[in-house]
Each structure stands twice: as C-alpha cells, then as structure tokens.
Structure 1
Amino acid sequence: MRAIPLLSLLLGGWLVLPAHADDAQDQLKRLTQAEQQQSYTGTFVYERNGSFSTHRIWQRVADGKVREHLLQLDGTPQEVLRVNGVTQCASGTLEEGASSVPDSAARAFDAARLSSWYDIKSAGTSRVAGRLANVVTLTPRDQHRYGIELHLDSETGLPLKSLLLSDKGQLLERFQFTDLNTSQSLTDQMLSPGADCKPLEVVKSKPDAPKQKVEWRSNWLPPGFDLSSAAARKDPDSKDLVTSLMYDDGLARFSVFVEPVSGAAVTDIRTQLGPTVAVSRRVSTARGDAMVTVVGEIPIGTAERIALSMRDDAAATSKN
C-alpha cells in the first residue's frame, strides 16, 4: 500500500530536535520490509484537496504472496484486490484508474539514493490510532519535489500516517490509520472481493508484433529523476503513434504522454488537484505539432518546464 504524505501543526517544533539521519534511513528500510512481510487489517482516512474518504484494508502475507483487499466505506462501495502489487479486479471509479501492471507504489525505499535529493531526518515520536510511532521527515533539497512526513509504527514499521507537503508547508495529501490490527488472523472471506469487483483484462501483445520505437525524450529533467519505463503504441482510432514515458526519483514520479495533434484545435491545460498536476502544452516539430501532457505528483512549474523540454529525435534526424 502506498504511503501518501501530510502536514502537522507541530512540524516546526519537531524540526528543532536533534536529527539522526542513520536512524531515519533505518526506519525507511524497515518500512519497506513491513509492507512486504506484515499481515494486518485496519481502517484509514484519505484526504486530498479538502475532501475526505474512509477505507478498510486487509493485507495477508502467505505462501510468498502479498494479497491486499481495499474497500472504500463512503458512498458507493468501491474496492480493489491486488496480489503482489498487481491489480486483479476493481469496482466503481477505482476501476478507471486501475492497471494490471505491478504497482510501483509498493516501493522499496533506497535510502542512499533518496538522501541525494531529500534531507532525511528522525523527528521524534507521535501517537496514531493508539499506537506509538516514529516520525521521519523527507525535506526536498530543491524546488522540484514535495516534502514528506511519515509516522511509522514503532512495533511493525508500517506507515500509520503519511503527509505530503508543499514547499510552503501546505498540506497537499493525508493518509492516516484510525485503527490497525496486526494480530488478527485473516480469512479467505476477508480477502475476497464482492461481485461488482470486475477482473482487469491483461492486454498481451502478439509475439510477432513489431515494437514501436520511442522517439521522444526530455531535454531537461529535475535532478535525480530517471526514466523508468517507455512505450509507444498506435491509437486504434486515429492510428497516430502515442508515446508514454514514466520517470521517478525513487519516491516521487510523473508520466509524460505525447500525441500528434494533426492540425486539430487543442487547448493547453494547467491544473492541480491536491498534489497531482496535469500540464498540457502544444509543441512544434519538423514533422508537425504534438500535444505533450505531464501528469504526476510534482510542483506545477516543474511539470511545465518538463513539457516544454520534450524533443522529437526522429524529427531532428529527418531534418538533418
């Protein structure tokens, strides 16, 4: 389960405490192990852009598999079932954003790598859902990523609370358990989704299908962000080649989508919902115009600079 970060009014006070970077990095390593090895059930709240939702989660680790069942308790029931980070089924609006690709949010923190881009510190203790927690802060070393405050269960290392903060200390997103049980035996029934949870279709490419070459690249990236995946496919309707690129710094991530506009009237977009931004810019190349869209949990100014930095290598080659 992904830890989703948040602001505390006491943050300024915690930061004056002695910092123990080694302890903080050890806590991040323990978090990674806990998410992959610890069975539990609990209820948590999720806040973004002033909107709250409540969720129930069951996670069972057995026979080498991490099985996770997530159910939204507010409004129309929505649920997701994942096995080893791969979504098996989803319902409601969660179905639209579900993917049969392994969820990299079930991440393995590389503390050494992250320390190059974040100032990682232990910041005292707190109490969340009736449990003692160790507080770890990750403060960005530049303006291209958000800050994170983690409250990690002292007993198991699981994230009890996670806050995502802007450069001004403004709360962007909150994840927080209201109860957590790590001793309850989880039954098959608890891990079984309802009838409305629709299985995801796994789209498999034909073995003899030629792979499309990715011809777009970024001419500028924030320090620390590397390309983690790249793909190009033909749109079944327009037959245009659509490129998708994903980048991450070991914690934050964003995606870039590029699609030819073929003279169509399109409008630039600049929007933000909580920590998630979406920026679309029309870019001209020797082969024609394309719409570049950057989506991710990064500051909006950074997303705009990335969008404008995209280059079509094939167009440059053909021009020469």
Structure 2
Amino acid sequence: MRFIPCLLAGALLSPLAQGAESQNWLLRLQEAEQRQEFQGVFVYERNGSFSSHEIHRQVREGQVREHIQQLDGVFHESLRTNGQLECMTGPRYEQIMENQADGLRRVQPRTLAQWYDIRTAGQSRVAGRETVVLSLRPRDQHRYGFELYLDRETALPLKSLLLNEHGQPLERFQYVVFEPVEQPKLQAGQACRPVTNREVRSLEEQAWRSEWLPAGFSLTRIVEQRTVREDAPVAWLVYGDGLARFSVFLEPWREGLSIDQRSQLGPTAAVSRRLATDQGDLLVTVIGEIPLGTAERVALSIRSGSGVMLQ
C-alpha cells in the first residue's frame, strides 16, 4: 500500500467527516472550560500593541475563578468568578461599568455550524504543546473568522486569532507558558479593589427591539443599570451568535454628548447615534467585535418597544 502522510490524509477526509471531527473538538473545549485548572503566561496583541499576562485558573464546585495579572506596562490585576468581576486594580478600574460580565460563553457546535464553516485545519505547536487547529470562517459579512489552536491533552485554546474578511489577524491571544495543574495558586493582591455590583433592574425583552439583526444573533441579556460616574440609567442589551457578541447601550440624551460617531479600533466597532422617542431623546451606542457596517446597521435599527423609558 502506498504511504500517505498524515496531513494529506486529513485533507482527503470528506467534508462530513471533517465537520464531525471539528464539532467533537468544540464539545471537548466546552467541557474543558468548565472543569480544567491551569496556570500560565499569555501574550495579547491588538492594533500592533502587545501585553503579557499571568493567569491562574481554579475550578471548585462548579465555580470557575480566574486571577490575571499584567506583567508589563502599568500594573493591572483582576479576579473573576464565572466571568463576574470581583476585584481589580489599576487605572482601568474607574472605566468599568459594574456587573457587565455576562458569565462564561457557551459554545454550541451545531448552532455555530449554521453561521461558520468549521473545519480542522491541521496541527501545530504552541507553548511547547501539541495542538489541533480549527478554522471557523463566517458564512456572511456580518462577523469575523477565527482560528483556534486547541491543546491535544486538555482541548483548551492555547492560541486564537480573530481574522478579518481577508484572513488578516485583527487580534491574537497566545500562551507562551501553559501548565495543567491541580489547585493552582489563586490570590489577589491587597491593592485589588472589590467591585460592588450596583442595582440592576431586569427589563422585558419587548422594552427595546432591533428591527434588524445579523442572521444567527439573538438577545441574550437585557437589563438597566447605572453608570459609575454620572449615576445615570443605561439600558444594556447583549446579542450573540454563540461565539461573537456585541452590546447595545441606551442612555438619556443630554447636551454635550457626541452623536453619529463611528470608529473601528482593531476588531472593535463603536457606533453612536441620537434616537428620538415619544418620551425624549436617547443616545444609542453599539460596541462589539463585529464589522463597522454591521454595527452601523444595528444602531440604525434600534427602536423603543413597550414604551418603557429609562428610570
């Protein structure tokens, strides 16, 4: 029998077989996110800027806790439980709206396959460990593509790339040290300031609506909270497709606010516009890792639903 190299054999697999294999890896990733403890050092690149971080991750009785400390530049650390910020230190503290974490993201392979072409794309090594490369290419122009380098042993992502429509990296996350360990050290420093969750009022799904959404995106959260500095009411809507997410913020209009702003900083689009309602004008802001044109279309489609005004 003629010898076929492993990579060539993988390329000869049917699309159905490749799809089943990639979905199996995503299911393993979903399980690992809930169970695997580790510690390591990773680098993060965005807009040509690099930073390095140390992370310790602990899982106890269904609670996933992560302590992250920046190793270069201005000192910054944070402690989260199930994605919820408990404390942080550094200059970013005052810029964060409390209670903004939306918990751990749940990956649903079968759902994602409707919006992304998911395939295994070979093998690689990251942080000295063997990985399987998954390619997730969007099926439309309203979301970005991803490459995930999953650790063969744990199925956790040791590297991820967020790619634009030309396949060029917009954002890079990559471990340089990764160690699966039991009971990793996890303790915030004394300067890590507790974050107090301000009062959050749940809103009905009909309170606000978007007359247009990219296919596959649905509302995952809608609440009203108050800003840290002005103590002003803000409605916060989160939309996701199972992988990508964006947020819509609505706040009462006041003089001095900028209107009809649009910007793209790496993968993050930000669009704001003034919205006239029967009960007063609002400022609508859409922020997320989606193309700028998609964010603009969402911002233009936001409407008041059940007539509920911010309080």
TM-score (norm 2): 0.85
From 238, 241, 249, the counterpart of 1:246: 238
Cα distance between partner residues in 1 of 2:144 and 2:194: 34
Q: CA deviation at 1:266?
A: 3.3
Is the alpha carbon distance of 1:119 and 1:201 closer, same or farther for their aligned partners in structure 2, counting shifts above 3 Å? Answer: same
Letter in 2 for 1:224: G
Letter in 1 for 2:106: A
Cα distance between partner residues in 2 of 1:199 and 1:236: 14
Q: Flag structure 1 segments of 5+ consecutive residues without an equivalent.
A: 1-12
Whether 1:28 and 2:26 are equivalent positions in the alignment is yes
Q: Deviations over 1:38-91 (max 9, x none)?
A: 111111100011100001111122344322111110122211112233222111
Q: Which residue number in structure 1 is paired with residue 112 of structure 2?
A: 114
Q: Deviations over 1:181-231 (max 9, x none)?
A: 114x445xx2111111111112246xxxx8666632111000111011112
Matches within 5 A, 1:1-320: 18=13, 19=15, 20-95=18-93, 96-97=95-96, 99-100=98-99, 102-104=101-103, 106-183=104-181, 185-186=182-183, 190-204=185-199, 215-232=207-224, 242-261=234-253, 266-313=258-305
Cα distance between partner residues in 1 of 2:47 and 2:216: 27
Q: CA deviation at 1:287?
A: 4.0
Identity %, equivalent residues: 48
Is the alpha carbon distance of 1:233 and 1:89 closer, same or farther for their aligned partners in structure 2, counting shifts above 3 Å? Answer: closer
Q: Flag structure 2 segments of 5+ consecutive residues without an equivalent.
A: 1-7
Cα distance between partner residues in 1 of 2:84 and 2:230: 30
Cα distance between partner residues in 1 of 2:279 and 2:84: 38
RMSD of aligned residue pairs (Cα, Å): 2.8
TM-score (norm 1): 0.83
Cα distance between partner residues in 2 of 1:315 and 1:182: 51
Letter in 2 for 1:27: W
Q: CA deviation at 1:236?
A: 9.8
Preserved contact between residue 263 and residue 289 of structure 1 (Cα < 8 Å): no
Preserved contact between residue 223 and residue 236 of structure 2 (Cα < 8 Å): yes
Preserved contact between residue 203 and residue 222 of structure 2 (Cα < 8 Å): no
Secondary structure class of the residue paired with 1:281: strand
Q: Which segment is superposed worse, 221-230 or 263-272?
A: 263-272
Q: CA deviation at 1:101?
A: 5.4
Specify which structure has the bigger relative contact order, considering alpha-carbon pairs within 8 angstroms and separated by 6 or more residues: 1
Letter in 1 for 2:50: F
Q: Which segment is superposed worse, 27-36 or 282-291?
A: 282-291
Letter in 2 for 1:55: H
Is the alpha carbon distance of 1:127 and 1:305 closer, same or farther for their aligned partners in structure 2, counting shifts above 3 Å? Answer: same
Letter in 2 for 1:261: W
Is the alpha carbon distance of 1:46 and 1:292 closer, same or farther for their aligned partners in structure 2, counting shifts above 3 Å? Answer: same
Preserved contact between residue 25 and residue 111 of structure 1 (Cα < 8 Å): yes
Is the alpha carbon distance of 1:114 and 1:197 closer, same or farther for their aligned partners in structure 2, counting shifts above 3 Å? Answer: same
Secondary structure class of the residue paired with 1:232: strand
Is the alpha carbon distance of 1:142 and 1:16 closer, same or farther for their aligned partners in structure 2, counting shifts above 3 Å? Answer: farther
Q: CA deviation at 1:268?
A: 1.8
Preserved contact between residue 58 and residue 186 of structure 1 (Cα < 8 Å): no
Preserved contact between residue 237 and residue 249 of structure 2 (Cα < 8 Å): yes
Letter in 2 for 1:200: V
Cα distance between partner residues in 2 of 1:17 and 1:98: 50
Cα distance between partner residues in 2 of 1:49 and 1:239: 32
Is the alpha carbon distance of 1:94 and 1:35 closer, same or farther for their aligned partners in structure 2, counting shifts above 3 Å? Answer: farther
